[in-house]
Amino acid sequence: RKEVEQDPGPFNVPEGATVAFNCTYSNSASQSFFWYRQDCRKEPKLLMSVYSSGNEDGRFTAQLNRASQYISLLIRDSKLSDSATYLCVVILKAAGNKLTFGGGTRVLVKP
């Protein structure tokens, strides 16, 4: 079983709609969680951290469910520019704070 798993998609989303997807992690001792965004043929860039209480950044909302060991990302009022691959990142401090990336979820927002 992979340490961090994501549905690869693609999620085809009409412009203006809401899309949500999850990421599951296998190690219950994982301590920090993030979402990165990667555009086609570009480098990953930090989108947002995921806090235990959940957090929001504009149209983006991230949630953490420690009991079920998953994090989620919700995008409201999708824009064409939201089309990208969203990478889930988990850090396990016991493993030397190494970042472990999920395989990514591809989102395609269409007019």
Partner 1 sequence: DAGVIQSPRHEVTEMGQEVTLRCKPISGHDYLFWYRQTMMRGLELLIYFNNNVPIDDSGMPEDRFSAKMPNASFSTLKIQPSEPRDSAVYFCASSLERESTDTQYFGPGTRLTVL
Max alpha carbon distance in the chain (Å)? 45
Report d(CA 56, CA 25) in Å as an integer.
Answer: 21
Query: Which amino acid is residue 38, in one-letter code?
Result: Q
For position 96 contacting partner 1 by CB under 8 A, the verdict is: yes
* Contact residue for partner 1 among 49, 66, 80, 94 (CB under 8 A): 49
Report, in Å, the least distance between residue 18 CB and partner 1.
25
Among 34, 37, 64, 92, binds partner 1 (CB under 8 A): 34
Between 1 and 67, CB nearer to partner 1 = 1
Cβ neighbours of residue 1 closer than 8 Å, sequence gap 6 or more: 26
Closest Cα partner for 34 from 55, 19, 13, 59?
Answer: 55
Contact flag: residue 97 with partner 1 (CB under 8 A): yes
46 binds partner 1 (CB under 8 A): yes
Asked whether position 31 contacts partner 1 by CB under 8 A, the answer is: no
